[in-house]
Amino acid sequence: MSNTTQNNSQFRRPDAVIGGSEGSGFWGYQWREKSGLGAVLLCDSYVMTAPTFPLHPHRHISAVAILFEDTIGHMDSSDSVGTNHQFGAGDVHWTLAGRGVEHTQIPRAGSRIHGAQMFIDLPQDLRHSPAQTFHLEAKDVPIYKTAHSRCRILVGTAWGLTSPMGIPQELLMIDGWSTSEITMPVPAHWKVWLYDRDNEKAGYTNDSTVKGSFLLVASPSLY
């Protein structure tokens, strides 16, 4: 990330260490954000090799599972509205909980799941809507490349490329890497949340210039 981003007071080391020690069935880092700052409420960056979370509820948010491209194996997801998916490296699984849903996600035997679990705030009109599930496979993710960067557009539109992830919410979500500084095409006045994967720092920032491995989420200022 640029020095401007790293010096931002909301851009920080993890708020908590989660799970067990490295090498256990689940371990990682967590960032928690105050409601109203932007769409991102929580992010867990984790490695999971064994079943960790039993069936559990969500409401008034979206629970988003992003599996990084170094994931080995697959995760099975099932929920109370009858949706079942298997997903793996580079895939995104999006559970819009609305007025309420229960789900569980379990790694298959021999898998090493490396990903980010995010809680995304919902606009008021979606908080009491029926639960919905969306799934994006890695092969369908639009990719923007330069000589020095590779950026996957997971949600929204960037560089003239639009993700087929058709969530009913205005967001931009990009993950990728760059060996030199690159500015993300974030619409004016949108709130930007960045995760610097190389240095394990994350948070809201006024700077959308990145370098290294990153995950970015941008949202309109209505949050």
Query: What is the per-residue pLDDT for 221?
Result: 78
**Residue of 163, 191, 181, 158 lying closest to 4 (CA atoms):** 181
Residue-wise pLDDT for 165-185, tens only, equals: 999 999 999 999 999 999 999
User: Residue with structure tokens 């629970």?
Assistant: 63
Residue-wise pLDDT for 115-169, tens only, equals: 999 999 999 999 999 999 999 999 999 999 999 999 999 999 999 999 999 999 9
Label residue 223 by pLDDT band (50, 70, 90): low
User: Residue with structure tokens 């639960």?
Assistant: 131
- The partner residues of 175 in beta bridges, in order of sequence, read 152, 215
Are the C-beta atoms of residues 184 and 218 closer than 8 Å to each other? yes
Domains of the chain: 3-219 (2.60.120.10)
Give CA separation, 95 vs 8, 56, 65, 157, 197, in Å: 31, 12, 8, 20, 23
Q: What is the mean pLDDT of the chain?
A: 93
